Each structure stands twice: as C-alpha cells, then as structure tokens.
C-alpha cells in the first residue's frame, strides 16, 4: 500500500472518500491567498429567555400551541414538517421525469430550556440527556420508518432561524441519497475485506494520530482524510454499533464527553459560537449484517475567522469539492484549542 501524502507535500492532489464514493481536490499551496470576499456578521449574545422565541418554555408557537414549562430536553412534532405521515403523490417510472411518494415524520428536539445554552456550554450530564432523547426517538421511529436522521443546523450561517439550542429528527420510509451511498460502500467493503469500513478506518486514524482531534476509550473525533469542509470532523465509535439506540450507558456518557470536547474546540478556534451542520448516520431498518457502522458528521463552514466562510461554488458545484487547508493542518489547529 502506498503511503498517503504527508503534510510536507504542498502540491495539489486528490483524496478519495470511501464512505461517500467521491473525490476531493486538495490544493495546499492556495491556503495563503488573500480574501476580499463576503464576511459573515458576528452573532450577538442571547439572553437565557426570550419572550418572542417559539422554543422557549411556556411560549406560544405558530399555530397556537404553547410549550410546557419544560426543565430538561423537550421534543415535539415539527409545526412545519418537510414530511407527512401520508402521501398521495403518484408514482412514475418515466426515465426522465421520475417521482415517488414518500412518507415520514419530523420532530424538533430542544436541548435545554435556556435560550442561550449551546451544547458546548452544557455539562456532560446535560448532553447525555440529549443523547438519550436521540436514542429513544431513533428506537421509536425506527420501528416504523426505514431511516431516522438526527441532525442539527447551528448558527445563522447554516440557515438556522432560531438560536435556541435545538436539533431535528426526520424519519422517512426510504433511504436518502447520502445514506444509500454509504450503505452500498460499507457493504462493498465488508464483502471484499470481511471487516467494517469505519472500524478499520477508526483503527487507522488512531494509529496515525495525524488527523485525530480527540479520543477516549469509546470514541474518536477526526478530521477525515477526505474532508470537504475546512474543519469538518467525523465522530466514530471504536466498537461495533448500528445506531444511537444501541449504545449502552457508559458509551453514551463517553460520547457526551467527546461531543463537549469537540464543540469547545470549535468555539475556541475563532473565539465565536461555531456554526455547523451535524448529523448521525445509523443502520437503516431494512439493512442486515455487521457492515453498517454508526457515525456522526460535523460540517462547519468557517474558513479563516469568525467572519470568513468557505463557499461551495464554481468548481465545487460543477466539478468536485476542493479545499486549501489540509485535513492534517485543520486537525492540528483544533487540537490546539482543547481546554
């Protein structure tokens, strides 16, 4: 096996993503290019309670439903769901104009009653309560739907319309495109090697250390070899796990530790609440076998500072993803931000 390119190699090269079956162009020599493009507005400090926030305890949501005076994690059906529990869409197998019905359910998870308490500032015990909620929802919805997607859009830069700490859970009766690709890739690797792609990858990253941000006995946080976004990370269990509902108590506690460490690194990097899209991929309902491995994706957009973000335009939209900052350098910078 050829050794992967090292940080000292500043020449352009491409890296393969075996999980997503795609390539990314890496151009380290462009990292110092001047920036005169768009800057993002900095987020203002939020109060612990906001009367007009539709997620704060006791407040009325659109449509007249009033939140209970909740004290911990609060979950409810989305008032504006992207999926409905029934579908009357006609199916068409037209080779050029295909369409198919889809059913599903959308849930909202408020992490805390405090409007200004981000997950990075929560205690590990409070984060465990969020993980427990994710797991319970995955178990319940997974009995009905093919795929359960736990995710969070954090910050205005990622299109989040409400600063209250919250995430979402969408369950649907089919595998979304990204998940379908990961299913195919993991199954293909298992058939060829007789081992889990992501367990093998976790062992490789732990051995090399170069892209490792944090680890404990159960979890790794790495900037993946194939990272697309500047400070993208992958959260990997170091044990076989199909989905969040299969985690034991100690594994949930150690996951809370890993998440807190990662999010604190993000916030410390540019001394700002770090925006990101986060999501968990677990085994779909119809999948069988040990090839599927639970993992979490973090896609943060910030590039050079709290106000400069990476834009996926031009070549990225028309050719393939491209990055200047190497994953190795990104991981080193995140490690330096650990408290």
Catalytic residues: 166
Region class of 312: left (phi > 0), else alpha (psi between -120 and 50), else beta: beta
- Rg, the chain, Cα only: 20
Pairing of strands 321-323, 22-26: parallel
* CA-closest candidate to residue 262, choices 239, 241, 238, 233: 233
Q: Report yes or no: 233 and 205 within 8 Å, Cβ to Cβ.
A: no
What are the residue ranges of helices labelled H in the chain?
124-142, 177-193, 197-208, 249-269, 315-318, 327-336
Give the whole-angstrom CA distance, residue 337 versus residue 276. Answer: 17
Query: Where are the strands (E) in the chain, listed by range?
Result: 13-17, 22-26, 74-77, 104-110, 147-154, 166-172, 212-215, 219-222, 233-237, 276-281, 295-299, 302-305, 308-309, 321-323
Helices and strands, number each (H, E), in the chain: 6, 14
Give the whole-angstrom CA distance, residue 260 versus residue 48. Answer: 20
């Amino acid at each position: 096996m050829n050794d992967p390119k090292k940080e000292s190699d500043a020449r352009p090269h491409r890296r393969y993503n075996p999980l997503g079956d795609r390539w990314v162009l890496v151009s380290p020599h462009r990292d110092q290019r001047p920036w005169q493009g768009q800057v993002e507005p900095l987020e203002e400090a939020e109060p612990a309670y906001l009367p007009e926030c539709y997620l704060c305890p006791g407040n009325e949501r659109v449509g007249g439903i009033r939140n209970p005076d909740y004290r911990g994690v609060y979950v409810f059906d989305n008032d504006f769901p992207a999926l409905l529990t029934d579908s009357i869409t006609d199916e068409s197998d037209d080779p050029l104009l295909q369409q198919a019905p889809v059913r599903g359910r959308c849930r909202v998870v408020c992490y805390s009653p405090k409007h200004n308490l981000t997950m990075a500032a929560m205690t590990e015990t409070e984060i465990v309560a969020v993980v427990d909620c994710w797991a319970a929802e995955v178990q319940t919805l997974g009995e009905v739907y093919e795929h359960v997607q736990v995710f969070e859009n954090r910050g205005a830069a990622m299109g989040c319309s409400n600063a209250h700490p919250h995430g979402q859970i969408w369950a649907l009766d089919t595998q979304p495109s990204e998940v379908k690709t990961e299913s195919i890739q993991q199954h293909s690797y298992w058939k060829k090697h007789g081992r889990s792609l992501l367990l093998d990858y976790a062992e490789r990253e732990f051995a090399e250390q170069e892209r490792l941000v944090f680890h404990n006995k159960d979890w790794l946080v790495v900037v993946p070899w194939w990272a697309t976004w500047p400070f993208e990370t992958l959260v990997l269990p170091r044990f076989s796990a199909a989905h969040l509902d299969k985690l034991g108590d100690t594994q949930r506690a150690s996951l809370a530790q890993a998440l807190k460490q990662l999010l604190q690194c993000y916030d410390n990097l540019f001394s700002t609440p770090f925006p990101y899209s986060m999501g968990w991929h677990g085994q779909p309902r119809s999948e069988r076998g040990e090839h599927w491995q639970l993992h979490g994706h973090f896609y943060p957009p910030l590039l050079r500072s709290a106000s400069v973000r990476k834009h996926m335009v031009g070549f990225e939209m028309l050719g393939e993803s491209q990055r200047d900052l190497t994953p190795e350098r990104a991981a080193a910078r995140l490690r330096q931000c650990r408290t």
